[in-house]
Structure 1
């Protein structure tokens, strides 16, 4: 193998890392599972990686890179082959090839000064019994101008193998003899090839290729003419059949940038849906709170619970929003808050629970709140409600949530007959923690509504 061939091989190897993807992005297509493009980081298990191929074509005792030949005119003869391929990456595969057929040439073509006067032979015919090689196959380009799925591939291959053949030579006098009567010649060779592959469907590919075989000796034509080594080429057309589950795409046709774009677009759309859903929930919550806080007549009782709407300004009302009887004289009553009263309030604080991220009071808290309502009505006490949260979430949302929870407790107590004018509800958000927000237990303590009776 001369230096120009070696340089050509290294140029091919240098192109391995380069995979050119030429495609446009059309409108989204609805595809069946068998035409899906796989996932980006799912590994080779998501693809079909093994395939087999059969082909047929012509063999000639010459190659495209040129060089000397022992006979002046080569002839086209049939050839056939098959292979098994394992696709390691979308641009790299290992392929085991088999090629057989016949090779012929003679000296009928004039070489400028006539036929080689020193050649003792007029022609040869070699039966290529078999040849087997292991090749690395590199996809240099995938071509697709209309769809995200690739439809054509340009590839090159290089490897090494062993060929078994039997030459017959014919002398200038017309006598044909076997070059090696003792048996088949076995010789090492280097195959270098290129081809173009077309994806006909998920089950079959069309394969067009050309492979040059550089032998490690000068025995192919039965004539050891000089220092140069024999070589031959195989041009072929064939079919490739992927093996495995048809619902999985072929790794060799995997278009990674297109898959990455689709996955990022899907994540973007999902995030937009989640954000829209959160905005809608916040809007519904704000509307519910606004409805709960609405007090048209300004008597301190929400319209939702006000059984006597339109109360005159300044009138004192009960928990249902109805005016209280106006006594002739108001006698001051001394209110004594006992330790039992304070314990009852502490129990209510300890048992108070809300739905996660909501101002809705859990039913398990109703019994304790009922006792607080009874105490406030019975002793005509006043109550200050202070809502607090942990630091999870934004400051503004926490401030709103703490206020909503305090108002929710007020609304519940008013619904049990407590005078709304005796209840003050305030929210402090995350500004007054009583424990560290760095632990779950601390955050639990900070999520509270404080009761102060007076």
Structure 2
């Protein structure tokens, strides 16, 4: 019966620690809201963790017991609390989410006095145990619940829940019914087991960068060794009720992310923006009224400047020739443009004599072997073609051709070069280069067989087309 009473006493103690803090929440919030504005008020929403203090360290002390609020006691009928102390480092990476690395050590004990009918065997060879928790280390995710209200930008009391995983190293010491004390696993080394920590508590923001931490954490071990005696299929557990201090790390001017309320901050920021926008809109409307008066005055001036009395398209302010007759074309100063001279175009006709001159030039055209160099004997007939182009402004197309001796690419280049050579000569004699087109076709358009010398001779040519 005393075991139950003692368990309930510890539970009542933890509730007693947390309840006054909850009762004081409203007054603490009221006090917080009457203080001078802190840096939190200057941090815009949706900026993540920028500008906040996100890292903190904490120290705590309290009572260690071989029992858990969920799952009850271990393998002895009565448990006793022992002193324990711990420390942690925390990263608050979101307004309501954090990662916390905890360290804990302490002692606890229990015995089999006044059995409570919990199913233990009466022939238990041990009367009591004492376990030294050399150390435990765990990493937990922490969910904070105090910064989701819609009232205050800075909260004073923040409930939290956490869960994670860790390793505990401990040494149980057993006392038998005849009074003999032995170490469990007598090699003297600590037992190391995995455990799952589950915790809940309150953070009270006592000052900028300082929080009071009140909490209760249960440790569910992956073994039945904590009290040094294995009885039944269940696994052991232990708990830690504590009070401590948490110190925010970083610039003193920066607020803690954990105590910042993003919802209320957004609401206040929107109100501030609306007020600023209204003030800006009022100022803009006053300025617009003054600008509107200026615009109306300018419109009147512009209308005066656009006036065109004679309708010639030139405003009176720029019109140097007023009263121009209707329909007259005028220049930029409003004066009548001079009438353009009508030129009659003489049609040029290609005569038989013209064709003869071109035909003679084709017949007399010769190049150095395998080159685009025109031989001197061809110059006289080409001079006549150039004179004809200058006098009558004819258009001339030159088409170069070769036989099939040599590669196709070389023949194409040679035919193009020879046509260009003829064009260059005619231009040098005064012909208009824009009216002469030179093209090379290589061996692709033969007019005779390439199997005979005479045929190949005919295929090596430059054709003149006059139009």
Same fold (TM over 0.5): yes
- Conserved in 1, the CA contact under 8 Å of 2:127 and 2:177? yes
Report how far residue 101 of structure 1 moved: 0.2
Q: Deviations over 1:70-99 (max 9, x none)?
A: 100001110100000011111110000001
Partner SS state of residue 82, structure 1: strand
Which of 267, 282, 290 aligns to 2:288? It is 282
Report how far residue 26 of structure 1 moved: 12
Report how far residue 263 of structure 1 moved: 1.5
Which of 399, 404, 407 aligns to 2:300? It is 407
Distance in 2 separating the partners of 1:85 and 1:409: 71
Partner SS state of residue 253, structure 1: coil
Cα distance change on mapping 1:82 and 1:424 into 2, 3 Å: closer
- Provide the alpha-carbon RMSD of the alignment: 3.1
Distance in 2 separating the partners of 1:88 and 1:280: 47
Partner of 1:190: 196
**Aligned 1:106-255 pairs, distance under 5 A:** 106-112=111-117, 116-142=121-147, 147-182=152-187, 183-255=189-261
Report how far residue 34 of structure 1 moved: 3.8
Equivalent residue pairs, number: 286
Partner of 1:45: 50
Distance in 2 separating the partners of 1:74 and 1:220: 12
Distance in 2 separating the partners of 1:240 and 1:408: 74
Distance in 1 separating the partners of 2:112 and 2:70: 21
Report how far residue 225 of structure 1 moved: 1.4
Partner of 1:318: none
- Conserved in 1, the CA contact under 8 Å of 2:126 and 2:175? yes
Q: TM-score, normalised by structure 2?
A: 0.56
Cα distance change on mapping 1:26 and 1:217 into 2, 3 Å: closer
Partner SS state of residue 111, structure 1: coil
Distance in 2 separating the partners of 1:252 and 1:50: 10
Partner SS state of residue 45, structure 1: coil
Distance in 1 separating the partners of 2:137 and 2:32: 46
Return 5+ residue gaps in structure 1 as ranges: 1-21, 290-358, 360-400, 411-422, 427-448
Q: Deviations over 1:215-236 (max 9, x none)?
A: 1111111111121111100000
Return 5+ residue gaps in structure 2 as ranges: 1-24, 308-314, 323-467
- Conserved in 2, the CA contact under 8 Å of 1:81 and 1:100? yes
- Conserved in 2, the CA contact under 8 Å of 1:149 and 1:255? yes
Report how far residue 140 of structure 1 moved: 2.9
Cα distance change on mapping 1:45 and 1:143 into 2, 3 Å: closer
- Conserved in 2, the CA contact under 8 Å of 1:38 and 1:248? no
- Conserved in 2, the CA contact under 8 Å of 1:142 and 1:151? no
